[in-house]
Amino acid sequence: MSDIKLNNVSVSYGQKYAVDSVSGSFAAGSLTAIAGPNGAGKSTLLKALMGELPLTMGEIHRGNLKIQDFSYLPQANEINRQFPLSVEDLVSLGIWRQKGAFGRITKDCLTRIREALVMVGLEDFGKHQIGTLSAGQFQRVLFARLLVQDAQVIILDEPFNAIDEGTINDLLKLIRQWHQQQRTVIAVLHDFEQIQQHFPNTLLLARQAVYWGDSKTALCAAHRQFAKNLTSSWNFNRSPIRNGTAA
């Protein structure tokens, strides 16, 4: 598995930069949080990593990783829960990249789906419609889909937003398991205490990289204040990272 290297990555919407001149590396098998104020470009950077948004400038080097080696969990509000799908149907979508859109779901696939539902604590929910689930149950289903996808790089956008503490703890166990399996995990998160407890590395983003490295250092009071100030006055202040510290 390869590192994912960013070289002067910038993404813009029209004339407005959402991400500007970000350079650094997600080491293979690393566990990294992306944190920063609202409007800091966190979700935009994830979509650029997935190839869903074009780069205005710079390059992303994925080494020998292919698109099927990536899995992506968007924010919950981007997913239509009213679509008539059962829990098993939704989890089965994680196999599409391996089987193709018209590939047959084999007995082995069904076994994998049901094992994933057991792992997220929803073994009795396979035939339930997704629209009937609570927010926490629905997020467990999405993690089950990631499990059957079996990707080497797992990208999560605010995976713990508006769900209960018990579900968060269970999903954190899965993230730790992925890390132990040497998968690369990248997650946008807002809870600084949670990040410091569970994520060794943090990219603190304010459209530019304020700090990329050890989580405790990245989220110190000085760096957090710098990120807040930089985000709020972006059009007048361009101050990129240099040698692991905010300039």
pLDDT, one tens digit per residue, over 99-131 is 555 556 778 888 999 999 999 999 999 999 999
Distance separating alpha carbons of residues 94 and 90, to the nearest angstrom: 8
Mean pLDDT of 63-87: 88
pLDDT digit string (tens) for 169-205?
Answer: 999 999 999 999 999 999 999 999 999 999 999 999 9
Which CATH number does 1-65+152-247 carry? 3.40.50.300
Are 186 and 155 in contact by the 8 Å Cβ rule? The answer is yes
pLDDT, position 82: 82
- Residue 157 DSSP label: E
User: Each residue of 124-153: pLDDT tens digit?
Assistant: 999 999 999 999 999 999 999 999 999 999
> How far from 244 is each of 23, 154, 190, 209, CA to CA, in Å?
11, 25, 21, 9
| C-alpha span between 49 and 62 (Å, rounded) | 9
118 within 8 A of 174, measured Cβ to Cβ: no
CA angle 83/156/192 to nearest 5° reads 125
Tell me how crowded residue 13 is: count the other CB atoms within 10 A of its CB: 10
According to DSSP, the β-strands at 4-13 and 241-242 are unpaired
For residue 132, the model assigns a pLDDT of: 94
Residues of the chain with CATH 3.40.50.300: 1-65+152-247
CA distance 101 to 98: 9
Question: E strands within 27-88?
Answer: 31-35, 57-61, 70-73
The mean predicted confidence, pLDDT, of the chain is 90
DSSP-assigned states of every residue in 21-59? EEEEEE-TT-EEEEE--TTSSHHHHHHHHTTSS--SEEE
238 has pLDDT over 60 = no
Give the pair of three-digit tokens for residue 17.
């930069």
Question: How many whole angstroms separate alpha carbon 212 and alpha carbon 243?
Answer: 10
Query: Do the Cβ atoms of 145 and 94 come closer than 8 Å?
Result: yes
Provide the pLDDT for residue 245. 40
CB atoms inside a 10 Å sphere around CB 106: 11
Checking if the pLDDT of 242 tops 60, the result is no
Per DSSP, 29 falls in state T
